[in-house]
Amino acid sequence: MDEYEDFSREEIIHFCERLQKKLKKYEKKLSDLVSAYKDLAEEKKLLEDSLKAVKQERRDKDDKTFLQKSKDFITKSKQPVVPPQPPENNDAESGESAEKKLDVVTKAFQTLTEKKSKMEASFQADKKNLVVEHNKTVTKFEDDVAMLTIQLERLKNKLGQEQKDRENDAQLHSNMLVELQNVLATERLMNDELKSQIAQLTSKKEHVKSRTPTPEVPRKDLKPTIKQRQQLDTSNGEIEKIKKDLIEEQERISKAEVLFQLRQTQDEERIRELEQKVSELSDSIGHYEKQRYNDQSTIHKLKHKLENLEEASSPTAHTTTLSFEAFDDRNGGSGGGVKEKIRLSSSEEYMRYFDSEKMYSPTADCSNHEMCNCKQELRKLKLELDNYKSKYLQQQKKDNHTVNSQVAEEYQSQITALKQEKKLLIRNYQEKEKNYLDAVHKLEKGRISADEKYKSEACEVQKAHSKQVGDLQMELQKQRIRSMNLLSEKDMEIEKLHKNIYDGLPGSSSSTAAILPTVHHHHYNTENALSEEFEDFLITPPTKKEEGSLFHFMEQNSFERDLSKLRHQVIDLEETSRESEQREARLLQQMEVLKEEIRKQERSKSRESANLEYLKNICLRYMLTKSISQRKQMSITLSTILKFSPNEMKDVEKRHAAGWW
């Protein structure tokens, strides 16, 4: 993670205030250094003035001695030669006082030069430290700005991704609502179809009731009505189940709408929070940029001050060299007494200096070979000193220039590298964006083509199933018509047999007259009723006259044979009807299975179009949450996204009612 990502805004402000305090301290130190440097320059000027005064006194004394010597020489030339007298005590005292003054001046000058060297060394060290600290602060601020820009880009990318997720969620919810509406429409159509079927069944029931006679209905006639009632009860139960499913689906739709509204509110709140964070970050970045601009302005001011101080220090050094040269020129004609006084001084460098000046004086004797060599060495040393001074100044200027140029080159190289990195990042981002857009377009095209293929396949499957159902219904109707025709033919044959039997029997006119209306009355009844009546007729005992007749027994045997055949035929017809009913049940089961498969395919299709990121987030929350209410809500959302079947939803609801633990 980044260094300043965990910091709050107040901590960053305190950090910037600390940096400002440090900069103020450095400014104070620099002002103190400048004041100390000015004091040193003033002290140097005072010392130079004192040295000039000492030189003037020496010149006056030298002039006086020269005048006295000239006067003495003139008097001596006029007077006879006198042996040389020793010097007076006054000259000795004046020489001692001059030596003391020179010692004091040389010591003061040494101390001043030492202090100056120390101050210059400390000043240069402070300057280097300041430059290093300045570079560090600049690099830190640049790093902070770079990190903040990176954070801004990340936040922008996050905002873009969240907006895309929100749009995808909105599309998913809209698709879910459309699918739920389609499911509702299909369920309503199914309900209407079931209602129409119920109406048809009720009409058929009433028609059957109107056709069947109310009194003296046999028990075997009640069996099909009981079956029809059972079928009606099952159909009513199915209708109630469908109604319950519709109510449950309506509740699911309402829950999904509530969840969608909650999701919308949560997304809006999250977007508001992110916008607030972005505004805070932009404010902090503006504050940082202002502070950076102020720091840069202060740094430039300090640089200008340092340059001015360096420029001011260079003329002071030039004035010191000029003062030394003037001092050398003025002391060019010093006498032998000064030479002896300087030799007694403690500093060897200044003794050499004054000895060399005495050598250059016009009064000095160049007769000795050693003196000439010393003069030449002095000239060489002076030239070397001048060269060294010029080289030192040039080197100082070059160092400053090279340091500044190196820093500028480093900054320029960093800027160019950052610009190149920025360009590369922009190009990479654009290429990635193009690739992602191409992939999205390809996926959308594939999805559209897959949807079209799936729809065409579903339509073909539905058409095929509808054709199969129509064919099966036609076959069932044909089988029913055939069975009805067979039954009617058998009824006709039975009536013919009845007529033949009653016509052949003696004294059966009254009985036939009584039985024929009953036969005509039960002509449209079922085969079971006819068989029962015929059995009753057979069970009735015959008269005494009929017992002895051979014809009666033969007819009775043939009648029994026909009856057995008819019973076998009736059993076969019942078996065929049962098989047809079983086929109808199988076809209905196949229809239900096919409907379930179609629904499964629709669910799988809707699952394929679901957002995996959204599903992953919901599963994560479901696994992390401990509250039962949140888990219930999340299970509902998961069931809507993954398109659970009604049985699965019932299992989930039972689990909720029983408890999770």
Taking only the tens place, the pLDDT of each residue in 156-204 is 888 888 888 888 877 887 777 777 777 777 777 877 777 777 777 777 7
Task: Identify the weakest region by mean pLDDT among 91-105, 430-444, 526-540.
Answer: 526-540
- Whether pLDDT at 328 is above 50: no
Query: Average per-residue pLDDT in the chain?
Result: 70
> Distance from CA of residue 284 to its chain's centroid?
21
pLDDT of residue 553: 64
Predicted local distance difference test score (pLDDT) of residue 85: 47
Residue 270 above 80 pLDDT?
A: no
Checking if the pLDDT of 26 tops 80, the result is: yes
Q: Is the pLDDT of residue 432 over 70?
A: yes
Q: Flag whether pLDDT at 99 surpasses 60.
A: yes
Q: What is the pLDDT of residue 505?
A: 46
55 within 8 A of 330, measured Cβ to Cβ? yes
Q: Is residue 78 over pLDDT 50?
A: no
Judged by average pLDDT, the poorest of 145-149, 223-227, 506-510, 625-629 is 506-510
For the residues 98-116, what does the mean pLDDT come to?
69
- What distance in Å separates the CA atoms of residue 101 and residue 51, rounded to the nearest whole number? 10
191-220 as b/e, with b when 16 or more CB fall inside 10 Å?
Answer: eeebeeeeeeeeeeeeeeeeeeeeeeeeee
For residue 76, what pLDDT band results from cuts at 50, 70 and 90? Answer: low
- Identify the three-state secondary structure at position 1: coil
- pLDDT tens string 329-345: 444 444 444 344 444 44
Residue type, 87: P
Instruction: Tell me how far apart the alpha carbons of residues 652 and 658 are, in angstroms, rounded to a whole number.
Output: 10
Say if residue 659's pLDDT is above 50. Answer: yes
Q: In degrees rounded to 5, what are phi and psi of residue 22?
A: -60, -40
For the chain, how many residues are written? 661
Distance of CA 497 to the CA centre of its chain: 95
Confidence tier at 503 by pLDDT (50, 70, 90): low
Question: Minimal CA–CA distance to 534: which of 494, 587, 561, 579?
Answer: 494
Q: pLDDT value at position 513?
A: 44
Q: Report which of 559, 552, 488 is spatially closest to residue 524, judged by C-alpha positions.
A: 488
| pLDDT for the residue numbered 399 | 67
DSSP string, 472-518: HHHHHHHHHHHHHHHHHHHHHHHHHHHHHHHHHSTT-HHHHHHHHHH
pLDDT given for residue 552 in this prediction: 63
Residue 310 pLDDT class (50, 70, 90 cuts): low
Question: Minimum mean pLDDT among 39-48, 424-433, 450-459: which range?
Answer: 39-48
**CA separation for the pair 338, 331 (Å, rounded):** 10
Q: What pLDDT does 77 receive?
A: 45
DSSP per-residue codes, 294-358: HHHHHHHHHHHHHHHHHHHHHHHHHHHHHHHHHHHHHGGG--HHHHHHHHTSS-HHHHHHHHHHH
Residue corresponding to tokens 């010393």: 374
% of the chain surpassing 90 pLDDT? 0
Residue 5, pLDDT score: 60
pLDDT computed for residue 304 by the predictor: 75
What pLDDT shows up at residue 71?
A: 58
- Decide which of 106 and 87 is more confident: 106
Give the sign of the dihedral formed by CA 409, CA 412, CA 418, CA 423: negative
Residue 325 has pLDDT above 70, yes or no: no
What average pLDDT does this structure show over 572-598?
84
pLDDT tens-place string over residues 516-573 = 444 444 444 444 544 554 445 444 444 444 444 556 666 677 777 888 888 888 888 8
* CB 584 within 8 Å of CB 546: no
- Confidence category of residue 61, pLDDT binned at 50, 70, 90: low
Flag whether pLDDT at 19 surpasses 80: yes
Over 60: is that where the pLDDT of 87 sits?
Answer: no
Q: With contact defined as beta carbons under 8 Å apart, do 282 and 227 qualify?
A: no
Cβ atoms of 333 and 361 closer than 8 Å? yes
pLDDT at 585 > cutoff 80: yes
Among candidate residues 477, 406, 418, 448, the one with its CA nearest the CA of residue 143? 418
Residue 363 pLDDT class (50, 70, 90 cuts): very low
Question: Which of residues 633 and 504 earns the better pLDDT score?
Answer: 633
Once rounded to an integer, what is the mean pLDDT over residues 215-229? 52
Q: In sequence order, what are the residues at sequence separation of 6 or more whose Cβ sits closer than 8 angstroms to the Cβ of residue 262?
A: none
Q: What is the pLDDT of residue 466?
A: 76
Cβ atoms of residues 5 and 151 within 8 Å: yes
Nearest to 120 by CA among 128, 131, 109, 108: 128
* pLDDT of residue 371 exceeding 80: no
Distance separating alpha carbons of residues 315 and 308, to the nearest angstrom: 11
